[in-house]
Each structure stands twice: as C-alpha cells, then as structure tokens.
Amino acid sequence: MTDKTQSIHGQWSSRFAFILAATGSAVGLGNIWKFPYIAGENGGGAFVMVYLLCVAALGVPIMIAEIMLGRRGRKSPINTMQDLATEAGADPRWQYLGWMGMVAGFLILAYYSVIAGWAMAYIVKAFFGSFMNSSAEEIQRLFENLMASPVQQIFWHTAFMLITMQLVMRGVQGGLEKAVRFLIPTLFVILIFLVGYAMTSGGYQQAMTFLFDPDFSKIDADAVLTAMGHAFFTLSLGMGAIMVYGSYLPGHVSIAKTTFYIAGADTIVALLAGIAIFPLVFANNLETGAGPGLIFQTLPLAFGHMGGGWLFGLLFFVLLFFAALSSSISLIEPAVAWLVENKNIQRHQACVWSGTACWALGVGVVFSFNIWSDLKLFDKNLFQLLDYLTANLMLPLGGMAIAIFAGWMMKTADVEQELEIPSQGFQVWQFLIKYLAPVAVFLVFLHVLGVL
C-alpha cells in the first residue's frame, strides 16, 4: 500500500521506529511485574504454554488487525472506528469500540502509574542499600510502609505521570520515538545482564523446570482466561494504544512482518523476565506464587543476600521503571490524540487534561491500599477492580470486537490492500480472525460466567 494520507499528529520516521514504539507499548509492567507472578500463581510451565498459544493464535492475528485499522483510519481510535464503520457501511455504533479501548488504556494507566511509582521508590531504596542483609520481616516492612503511606505513593505516582506527560507532549517523533529509541535497547541490555547473573545462581535448573516443564493438571478455565487476558494485556491489544500507533505507520511498511517482530520481542522479554526472576526465587527458597508482591517483597530479599546484590537490585528496578515508561506513553496517547482532533486544543493542553484526570484516578488507587482499603466493590478494592475489569474483561472483549470488525465488517479488498499478505497467509489470518479468535474469547467468557 502507498501513503494516501498521514495522521495530523505526524508519523514514525521508519519501520524500525514503529517496531521500537510498539514493542515499548507491549513490553511493560505486564512482562516484568505481572507475567512472573501470574505464571507462579498458575503452576508455571503449563500456564506458560497456554499463554504462548494465546499469543500465537489470538494475539498476533488481532494485533495485525488492530494496526491495520489504525493505519487505514489515520486518527484516534474513536474517530478511526467511526470513519471505518462509515467506509464499510457498518453500524456507526462501532465507534464505541474506540471508546472502550481509550477508556481501558486510561484505566490501566491510572493503576500502572502507581505501580511504576513503586518501582521509582525502590530504585532509591536499592541505591541506598535498603535491601542489604535485611531479613524477610524487614523487607516486608519496607513494602508495607510504602503501601500504608498515601503521601509517599502519591509523590512517586505524580513524578511518574509528569515524566510520561512531558514525553507525550513532544509529539510522535520528538517525544514518543526519541524515548523508545533509548528505552528499549537499554531495557534489553539490562534484562540480558540480569539473566546472565541468574544463570549462575543455584536455582537456575529448578527455575527452567518450573517454567518449561508443563503440568496441565494445574490448568483450569480461570487460568486460561488469565493467560488470554495477559496475552492481550502484554501486547497492548484492545486498549487503543496499538491502533493509534498504527495510525502513525508509513503506508509502505508490511504490517504482518512488523507484528511478528513486535510479538516476538514482547514474548522474549516476558520469558527472559521469568528466567531472570525465578532462579533467584528458588535459590533463596522463596514462594513462587507470591502474587503481586513477588517483585517488591520476594526479590529484594534475594538481592539483599547475594553477591553483587546492590548493583543487580538497582538495575532490576531501573529496568522495571523503563518498561513502565515505554508503555505509559502509549496508554495516554489515544486520549491525547482524540482531544487534539475533537476539542480543537494544542497537544500540550491535551496532555495536561488527560494526564491530570488519570493522575486523579491514580490517587484513588493509592488510597485503595490504605485509607480506602475497606472500601470494596464485588469483593475487590479499586486497584483489583481496575485490573480485573481491564485485563479480564475490556481487553479480551475489545480484541474480540476488533476481530469481528476486521474479519466480517470490512470489505475483503480493503483489508487485502492494507495487509498485502500472500494469498495463503491471508487465508490463514482470515480464518484466525473470523472464526478462531472471536469464538475462543466468547467460549472462555461463557465458562467463567458459569454458562458452560
């Protein structure tokens, strides 16, 4: 396909820039913070296999579709879906898919920024040697003190949101692209460094068995839903980020090839994170199913008692911060793009409005760990509710809707023109996007709802 139009927001300077940006969006807290602990909670190897299957059979085809929709529309997700529904002669209410994606990204960033703030706080703690020779009780107290302090958490949450907003204000090439050109290569270097260290620890063989020797008796429908939700979460699908990044993609770039690079890089980072983390867990006889506290309670204990722990602990939390930042800029971008297009305001104003609203909701997330900890809806505090609502409901539903629109609503000729995949490959993609992806998501939902 050739460039017929260009987004008013600009475009990536090259395919490599887009790959870095989309990989940055995909590689985030989902890979470094969330993947290891949910793999630990769901039995290790079998969960990893189900997750990889979800990425290959559902994530990649839907990512191809979402990038394709973004590039064809060249606008924010809401306006893109509005224009493409008109072009396809479909119901104009398809624009609500754009709304759901933008809202999902906004809700994710509200709690994402809080966790990224924890990472920033732990960079400082690691730098000043707070973990060194500490007991499990002392490490736990460090984390509990942070959780109990709204002031500390709001300070770091605010700092992270200000950095995110500053980068996004600078535009596509001046801000987003420059940031990921530094963040992503640095992230890979730090991660490989940590993996190299983990391989020398006593728990390496145990960790490899845990991660790659599947026991499928540990898998149930909830684990499948978690794996599927995480495939969407970690690839940034259904939250508007990949669609808006796709709108900045030059027309001559192959969407399918680019998607394979992005999904491959994202999956490698998730697996490397597991390989870096679990040897330390096993070497120190720690708990694999430690949940969200794995990174902030379990690992600092390991860093505090190993050779070179000061340096590796510091590097790890810098890695976590970089991963969070590369994703946060993509989570706020759909809202910024929509405000610029629809409210006739400058980009920096759109960043301030959307960033401030997201920050305010994040303050509520901070309170859910302390002064609002007893305030629950459906037996979940605000943080747990936002995480479940987005990762387990909105993202898979958004992905299913993207698959249905790309597979059933759009004209086949238009899709073929955008994708330029050889006919056999196009038929495989079309089968996955029209039948397998929507049916798989729907069946898992029915099971979780108790219908199946």
Residue 417 Rama label (left phi>0; alpha psi -120 to 50; beta): alpha
pLDDT at residue 135, as a whole number: 84
pLDDT tens for each residue of 43-97: 888 999 999 999 998 899 999 999 999 999 989 999 999 999 999 999 999 999 9
Which structural domains are found in the chain, ordered by start?
15-448 (1.20.1740.10)
Strand partners for 377: 380
Q: What percent of the chain has pLDDT over 90?
A: 39
Please give the full DSSP string across 343-369, using - where no structure is assigned: S---HHHHHHHHHHHHHHHHHHHHHTT
Strand partners for 302: none
Q: Helix (H) and strand (E) counts for the chain? A: 22, 0
pLDDT at residue 182, as a whole number: 84
CA torsion sign, 286 to 215 to 29 to 362? Answer: negative
Terminal C-alpha separation, the chain:
44
Whether the CB-CB separation of 92 and 340 falls below 8 Å is answered with: no
SS (H, E, C) 209-230: HHHHCCCHHHCCHHHHHHHHHH
Count the residues in the chain.
452
Provide the 3-class DSSP secondary structure of residue 416: helix
CA distances from 122 to 31, 55, 126, 156 (A): 18, 31, 6, 10
Q: Smallest Cα–Cα separation from 320: which of 8, 36, 4? A: 36
pLDDT at residue 1, as a whole number: 45
Task: Kindly give, in sequence order, each residue whose CB lies less than 8 Å from that of residue 38, ignoring residues fewer than 6 positions away.
Answer: 47, 226, 230
Angle, helix 95-127 to helix 77-88, in steps of 10 degrees: 150
Q: Which two three-digit tokens encode residue 144?
A: 């509990």
Residue 372 C-beta-side C-alpha neighbours within 13 Å:
16
Whether this prediction's pTM lies above 0.95 is answered by no
pLDDT tens for each residue of 216-226: 887 887 788 78
Provide the 3-class DSSP secondary structure of residue 380: strand
Task: Kindly give, in sequence order, each residue whose CB lies less than 8 Å from that of residue 332, ignoring residues fewer than 6 positions away.
Answer: 105, 106, 109, 164, 165, 168, 351, 354, 355, 358
- Chain-centre distance of CA 93, in angstroms? 27
pLDDT tens for each residue of 43-57: 888 999 999 999 998
C-alpha–C-alpha distance, residues 105 and 239, integer Å: 5
Angle, helix 412-419 to helix 255-283, in steps of 10 degrees: 70
Whether the CB-CB separation of 324 and 119 falls below 8 Å is answered with: yes
Dmax (CA) of the chain: 66
C-alpha–C-alpha distance, residues 104 and 386, integer Å: 9
Whether the CB-CB separation of 55 and 225 falls below 8 Å is answered with: no
C-alpha–C-alpha distance, residues 199 and 397, integer Å: 39
Provide the 3-class DSSP secondary structure of residue 14: coil
Whether the CB-CB separation of 40 and 219 falls below 8 Å is answered with: no
Q: Per residue of the chain (452 residues), give pLDDT as tens.
A: 444 567 777 777 788 888 888 888 887 777 877 788 788 888 888 999 999 999 998 899 999 999 999 999 989 999 999 999 999 999 999 999 999 999 998 999 999 999 999 999 999 999 999 999 888 788 889 999 999 999 999 999 999 999 999 988 877 767 777 888 888 888 888 888 888 888 887 888 998 998 888 888 878 877 887 888 788 777 878 888 889 888 888 888 889 999 999 999 889 988 888 898 888 888 877 777 666 667 787 778 878 877 788 988 898 888 888 888 888 888 898 999 999 989 989 989 999 999 999 999 999 999 999 998 888 888 889 999 998 888 778 888 888 899 999 999 999 999 998 898 888 999 999 999 999 989 887 876 676 566 65
C-alpha–C-alpha distance, residues 312 and 196, integer Å: 11
Provide the 3-class DSSP secondary structure of residue 377: strand
The amino acid occupying position 430 is Q
pLDDT tens for each residue of 175-213: 777 888 888 888 888 888 888 888 887 888 998 998 888
Phi and psi, residue 377, nearest 5°: -130, 130
